[in-house]
Amino acid sequence: MGTHKKRSKMSRQRPAAAKADKPARLSAGEWFERLVALQARLRAHNGCPWDLEQTHETLRTYLVEETYEVLDALETGDDAKFANEMGDLLLQIVFHSQIAAEEGRFTVADVIREVHEKMVRRHPHVFGLKRAKDAAEVLRNWEQIKAQERRSEEKNGARAAGAQKSLLDGVPRTLPATLEGLQLTKKAARGGFDWDSDAGIFEKMREECAELRHALAKRKSAEVEEEIGDLFFAVVNLARFLKVDPEIALRKANAKFLRRFQEMERLAAQKGRRFAEVSRAEKEGLWEAAKRGERESAKHGHPKRRVGRPDAGREAAEKR
């Protein structure tokens, strides 16, 4: 009798025990604090040798890589992958902040405070008394506030003595060329230097094409490079005018070419042929077949995967 009662009591206790073993649901802030503590532990004297060797300079490549991996994941429509890659990018911010904290320069709390205060300051139509009727007015106000911030920095000696102010200040030269061109033309447009319509930009592109053909006829490689640059810049300006990000558009075009080319190779292999040995006319036929197949596939669509419980980010050691 006593044994039966003991077993019954244990059975009743099992659900409670299982419930206790279930991990607690943490807030975003609590997970962030854990991530910060984890990176500090990896950088401690008894932490990870690879992490200890890293500097701001050695981590630059990973910061760029993770940014592009986020963009790749976004385009796949795979939410779990998207969340995972954003975690990897967040880890880079925490990593750089930890190094700076060790050097007594700033902490990750300073990073968060700076961006929080900036967002409040630049949204007076939300957090203040100012009003904005549309997104265009928000952007105009944003630029005015940034200009005020720059003037404040100048008073504090942030700008070198005698340096000339420009509406185009603040565009990093380290950006990919298409993004730099996009930012330069955006700032110029906000300063009133813009085309009245896209027709003017198309005409400019025709003009640049003619100048490129002229440079080719003269067989001057330096002039050809310059004219191709001018043509690229005009295309970037057109993209900006049409509210298209040229970097994203080109990345999508690259991905499309890659998919179609690999499909051509697959179709050739199906026929027992090496792609390099296929005639030019047959290659054109394979290209059209790849395009048709892609259009048929697009008709059916691909549902997005829902986020399950993605990892917070890959360990830094995975990149060794």
pLDDT band at 308 (very low <50, low <70, confident <90, very high): very low
CA torsion sign for 206, 208, 211, 213 is negative
Contacts of 99 (CB under 8 A, 6+ apart): 43, 54, 55, 56
For the stretch 24-79, pLDDT in tens is 689 999 999 999 999 999 999 999 999 999 999 999 989 989 998 998 899 889 99
Residues 111 and 97: beta-carbon distance below 8 Å: yes
CA distance 202 to 241: 11
Instruction: Spell out the long-range contacts of 83-88 with Cβ–Cβ below 8 A and sequence spacing 24 or more.
Output: 83/307, 83/310, 84/310, 84/311, 84/313, 84/314, 87/310, 87/311, 87/312, 87/313, 88/313, 88/314
CA distance 143 to 145: 5
pLDDT band at 8 (very low <50, low <70, confident <90, very high): very low
Residues 33 and 39: beta-carbon distance below 8 Å: no
CA distance 216 to 305: 50
pLDDT > 70 in the chain, percent: 83
CA distance 90 to 316: 12
CA distance 65 to 56: 15
For the stretch 89-137, pLDDT in tens is 999 999 999 999 999 999 999 999 999 999 999 999 999 988 888 998 8
Whole-structure pTM value: 0.60
What does the block give as tokens for 62? Answer: 């990973």
Q: Rounded to the nearest 5°, which phi and psi values hold at 78?
A: -90, 105
Contacts of 274 (CB under 8 A, 6+ apart): 268
